[in-house]
Structure 1
């Protein structure tokens, strides 16, 4: 099995695949008479296709055992897909570059508390992968007509490991 070591999630490292969603001082301003700090425009939400609309959901994910065997990735040709954890627990983020319509070698990232991701439209990515405990996630993605899911099964799986401490 081919081994991939997860790396810390950073905006620069993740930029080819979408947006890292996190509250940073440079993206904020006060609202509600100064009682609230708004962290503004943190991700590019993309929706396309017939009768497309932005959809907000909550998903409850069960934790995965590690190391993770990665057999499959998916992508959404009609819209982006954002996941923001509603807890402070980390989760794995797995993405692949597109190589002529097929996923290339995966990259794995581990989030820190307060980080979420927005997968850009057509980005190959792994499934929602909580670590350690059940987690709830706010999801922002595309609703509407049309097939917005493409799956790819690797002929030989990858094994995803957390970095050694």
Structure 2
């Protein structure tokens, strides 16, 4: 089984797969008579297809332990998918470049406190993978007509450590 090392999540390392959602280095300005700072336009919500619209959902995920075996990735051809943690818990973000034969070798990123991600439309990625304890997330993705989920099962699993 091939092993994949987990790396820190940075804007540069994740740029080919979507956006990192965080307050650091984000365009911001005061609102509400200076009582609030708005971190503005952190990710591009993508939707395409019949009757498409952005939707907001909440998820509660059970934690995973490391190392873990990765057997499957998925992608959403009709819209992006943003995961914004509602706690200080870390989570894994697993992505893979698209090749002519399907998804390539995965990359694994560990978030730091305050980071979320917006996974671009049609980008192969792992499932939601909280670490440590049960975690809640706000999810922004696409609602509408059409099939917006493709799954790929690797012939041999990868070990994420």
Distance of 1:97 and 1:105 partners within structure 2: 7
Q: How does 1:1-165 map to 2 (within 5 A)?
A: 1-100=1-100, 102-161=102-161
Deviations 1:115-134 (A, max 9, x none): 00000000000000000100
Partner Cα separation in structure 1 for residue 2 and residue 113 of structure 2:
28
Per-residue Cα deviation, 1:33-67 (whole angstroms, up to 9, x for no partner): 11000000000110001000100000000001210
SS in 1 for 2:48: coil
Contact 2:26-2:40 within 8 A present in 1 as well: no
Q: Which runs of 4+ in 1 moved over 6 A?
A: none
Structure 1 gaps of 5+ residues are: none
Count of aligned pairs: 161
Q: Secondary structure at the match of 2:13?
A: helix
Deviation at 1:27, TM superposition (A): 1.1
| Per-residue Cα deviation, 1:85-129 (whole angstroms, up to 9, x for no partner) | 000110000000011261001000000000000000000000000
Could you state the TM-score of these two structures normalised by the residue count of structure 1? 0.96
Deviation of 1:24 after TM superposition, in Å, equals: 2.3
State the distance in 1 between where 2:36 and 2:113 align: 20
Q: Take 1:126 and 1:2, find their aligned partners in 2: how far apart are those partners?
A: 16
Partners of 2:94 and 2:148 lie apart in 1 by 19
Within 1, Cα distance between the matches of 2:109 and 2:136?
19
Please tell me whether the aligned partners of residues 24 and 39 of structure 1 are also in contact (alpha carbons under 8 angstroms): no
C-alpha RMSD of the superposition: 0.8
TM superposition shift of 1:26? 4.2
